[in-house]
C-alpha cells in the first residue's frame, strides 16, 4: 500500500506540472514589433507630407487673397491717375506673387507624388504586419489545441490510474 501512495504522489506531481500552462511564445514577436514601429514611422512621414501639402495650399490661398487686394490697389492707382512708376511697382509685386503661386503648385505636385509613394510603402508594411499577426493567431490556436490535447491526455491518465486503483483494491 505504501508503494501505491508514493506512486500516486508521483503521478499527481507529474500531472500538476503538465497542467501548468506554459506561456505562449510567438517566435517572431520581435519582428512583429519592428514591423509595427516601421508602420508608425511611415504613418508619421505620411502625416508630415500631408501637412506640408496643406500648408502650401494655405499659402496659395493667401497669395490669391493678396493678389485680389493688389488688383484693387492697382485699379485705385489708375483711377487716381498716379504715376506710371507706382502702377508698375504694383504690377511687378503682382507678378512676383503669381510666380510664387507657380512655385507652390509645383511643390505641391512633387509632395503629392511623394504622398503616393509613402501610401504605397505604408500599404506594404501593413500587409507584412497583418501577415505576421495572422501567423501569430494561427500559432496561438495550434498552441491552444495542443494544450487542450495535453489536458485530455492527463485526464485519461488519471481515469486509467483511478480504474487500476479500484481494480487493485477489489482484488485485495
Q: How far apart are CA 75 and CA 77, in angstroms?
A: 5
Instruction: Note whether residue 82 is domain-resident.
Output: yes
The residue ranges of the chain whose pLDDT is under 70 are 1-9, 11-21, 170-172
pLDDT of residue 96: 95
CATH number at residue 120: 1.10.287
Whether 93 is covered by a domain: the verdict is yes
How many whole angstroms separate alpha carbon 10 and alpha carbon 2?
Answer: 12
88 inside domain: yes
Tell me if 118 is assigned to some domain.
Answer: yes
Nearest to 33 by CA among 134, 138, 132, 142: 132
Question: What total number of domains does the chain contain?
Answer: 1
Residue 159: per-residue pLDDT: 80
Number of other residues whose CB lies within 10 A of the CB of residue 121: 15
Whether 120 is in a domain gets the answer yes
Evaluate whether residue 62 is within a structural domain. yes
* pLDDT, tens only, 97-114: 999 999 999 999 999 999
153 found inside a domain = no
Rounded distance, CA 142 to CA 7, Å?
33
pTM above 0.75, yes or no: no
Per-residue confidence (pLDDT) for residue 157, from 0 to 100: 80
**Domain of residue 65, residue span:** 30-129
The answer to whether 73 and 90 are in contact (CB under 8 A) is yes
Position 53 scores a pLDDT of 98
Amino acid at each position: 500500500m505504501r508503494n501505491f501512495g508514493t506512486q500516486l504522489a508521483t503521478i499527481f506531481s507529474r500531472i500538476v506540472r503538465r497542467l501548468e500552462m506554459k506561456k505562449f511564445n510567438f517566435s517572431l514577436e520581435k519582428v512583429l514589433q519592428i514591423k509595427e514601429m516601421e508602420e508608425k514611422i511611415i504613418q508619421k512621414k505620411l502625416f508630415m507630407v500631408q501637412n506640408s501639402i496643406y500648408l502650401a495650399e494655405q499659402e496659395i490661398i493667401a497669395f490669391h487673397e493678396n493678389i485680389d487686394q493688389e488688383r484693387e490697389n492697382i485699379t485705385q492707382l489708375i483711377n487716381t491717375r498716379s504715376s506710371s512708376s507706382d502702377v508698375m511697382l504694383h504690377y511687378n509685386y503682382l507678378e512676383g506673387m503669381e510666380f510664387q503661386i507657380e512655385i507652390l503648385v509645383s511643390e505641391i505636385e512633387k509632395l503629392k507624388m511623394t504622398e503616393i509613394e509613402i501610401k504605397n510603402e505604408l500599404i506594404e508594411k501593413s500587409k507584412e504586419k497583418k501577415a505576421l499577426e495572422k501567423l501569430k493567431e494561427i500559432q496561438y490556436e495550434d498552441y491552444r489545441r495542443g494544450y487542450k490535447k495535453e489536458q485530455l491526455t492527463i485526464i485519461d491518465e488519471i481515469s486509467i490510474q483511478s480504474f487500476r486503483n479500484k481494480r487493485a483494491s477489489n482484488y485485495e
